[in-house]
């Protein structure tokens, strides 16, 4: 895999069918998608259209029923559980709507845990400080998640996701639990990280303003991609459309 492929995502005929007994429920249907390195892509669509499943497939959390998922040229659909875990560890950072910080340990321990899992436990502290300063949480990392506001928790979660400098950031409604002020803050940070660190970002959102931050917006319906829009322009009157 060449350096130029860092952070590239490509799916071909990607299909995911959940089975419950004899009943088959297609969640993703024949999706062909290409996201170039350093792109910031937003995925929009109604609940149940397959956005989260698509994100799980891109992160290798589940294996597709059919099709390819190429991450930096590696088809992770063909990899074993352990190999997909290794790809995720090396190349992917996750940001969740509910932050998903471990509640019993401090923000610092949450971030350091990510480094330990990555095998990067003794990395240069300067880099960490830089990221923490960028996210504005340097003073807060001694606190436990329950002692932080929603916006602070999400910034810690972002720090945890980017601390190992993965080439791809997958964000599942990162502003879904935040007020408008914190939402804007988090989106600005994501955009900033995308521009400064060059990470590819795929973000699920229901929020048109959030989608307007992305380079491209993908609209999904019933497990399929309906449209791909370049430079989505946020118009407040469109709010609630998706």
Partner 1 sequence: MTHSLVAANILSRPTRTLISILAVGTGVILMLIIGGITTGTLNDYLNRTMSVGADFILQPSGSTVFYAFSSAALPIKLADKLRETPGVGAVAPVLAKFSSADFGLVFGIDLATYDQFPGRLEILEGRNSLQGNEVIVDDLYAMSHKVSPGMTVEILGRKFTISAICRRGSVVRVFVPLPTLQQMNGTEDKVTIMFIKAAPGADVESVFRELHRAYPGLALVRTTDPSVLLADTRMPGLKEFRLTVVTVSMLISFMVILLAMYTTIFERTREIGILKSMGASKAFIVGLILRESVIISLLGIAFGVGASLIIRKLITTAFPTLQVDMTFVEVLRGSLLGLLGGTLGALYPAYKAARMDPVQALSYE
Query: Using an 8 Å Cβ cutoff, are 230 and 216 in contact?
Result: yes
Closest approach, Cβ 117 to partner 1, in A, equals: 5
Q: Cβ atoms within 10 A of the Cβ of 102, count?
A: 13
- In the complex, the smallest distance separating the C-beta of residue 57 from partner 1, rounded to whole angstroms, is 10
Number of chain residues interacting with partner 1 (CB under 8 A): 29
d(CA 53, CA 62): 8
Q: How many residues does the chain have?
A: 242
33/92 with CB nearer partner 1: 92
- Measured from the CB atom, the residue of 83 and 192 that comes closer to partner 1 is 83
Scan for tokens 């407040």, then name that residue: 236
Nearest distance from residue 100's CB to partner 1, in Å?
Answer: 5
d(CA 116, CA 89): 11
Binder of partner 1 out of 41, 71, 114, 214 (CB under 8 A): 114
Q: Which of 72, 94, 167, 205 binds partner 1 (CB under 8 A)?
A: 94
DSSP string, the chain: --GGGTT-EEEEEEEEEEEETTEEEEEEEEEEEEE-TT-EEEEE--TTSSHHHHHHHHTTSS--SEEEEEETTEEGGGS-HHHHHHHHHHHEEEEETT----TTS-HHHHHHHHHHHHT-TT--HHHHHHHHHHHT-TTTTTS-GGGS-HHHHHHHHHHHHHTT--SEEEEESTTTTS-HHHHHHHHHHHHHHHHHH--EEEEE-S-HHHHTTSSEEEEEETTEEEEEEESPPP-GGGTT--
Stretch that binds partner 1, among 100-108, 146-154, 199-207, 214-222 (CB under 8 A): 100-108
Q: Kindly state the smallest distance separating residue 16's Cβ from partner 1, in Å.
A: 11
Query: Which CB, 114 or 134, lies closer to partner 1?
Result: 114
Binding mask 35-64 for partner 1 (x = CB under 8 A): ---------------------x--x-xx--
- Contacting partner 1 (CB under 8 A), which of 26, 30, 96, 242? 96
**Closest CB to partner 1 among residues 25, 117:** 117
Indicate whether 137 belongs to the interface with partner 1 (CB under 8 A): no
- Report the site for partner 1 in 153-212 (rule: CB under 8 A): 160
Residues 16-35 that bind partner 1 (CB under 8 A): none
Asked if 224 interacts with partner 1 (CB under 8 A), we say no
**Under the rule (CB under 8 A), what is the footprint of partner 1?**
56, 59, 61-62, 81-82, 85-86, 88-90, 92, 94, 96, 100, 102, 104-106, 109, 112-118, 121, 160
């Amino acid at each position: 895999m060449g350096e130029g492929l860092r952070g590239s995502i490509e799916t071909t005929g990607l299909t995911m069918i959940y089975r419950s007994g004899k009943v088959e429920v297609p969640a993703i249907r024949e999706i062909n998608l290409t996201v170039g390195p350093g792109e910031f892509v937003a995925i929009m669509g109604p609940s149940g259209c397959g956005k989260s499943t698509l994100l799980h497939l891109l992160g290798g959390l589940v294996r597709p029923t059919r099709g390819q998922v190429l991450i930096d040229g590696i088809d992770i659909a063909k990899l074993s559980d352990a190999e997909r875990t290794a790809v995720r560890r090396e190349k992917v950072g996750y940001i969740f709507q509910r932050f998903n910080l471990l509640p019993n340990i401090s923000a610092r321990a949450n971030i350091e845990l990510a480094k330990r899992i990555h095998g990067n436990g003794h990395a240069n502290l300067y880099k960490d400080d830089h990221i923490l300063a960028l996210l504005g949480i340097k003073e807060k990392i001694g606190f436990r998640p329950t002692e932080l506001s929603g916006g602070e928790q999400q910034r810690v979660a972002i720090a945890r996701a980017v601390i190992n400098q993965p080439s791809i950031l997958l964000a599942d409604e990162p502003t879904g639990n935040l007020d408008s002020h914190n939402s804007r803050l988090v989106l600005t940070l994501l955009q900033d990280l995308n521009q400064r660190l060059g990470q590819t970002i795929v973000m699920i959102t229901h929020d048109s303003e959030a989608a307007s931050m992305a380079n491209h917006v993908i609209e999904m319906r019933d497990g399929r991609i309906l449209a791909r829009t370049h430079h989505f322009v946020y118009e407040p009157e469109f709010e609630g459309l998706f």
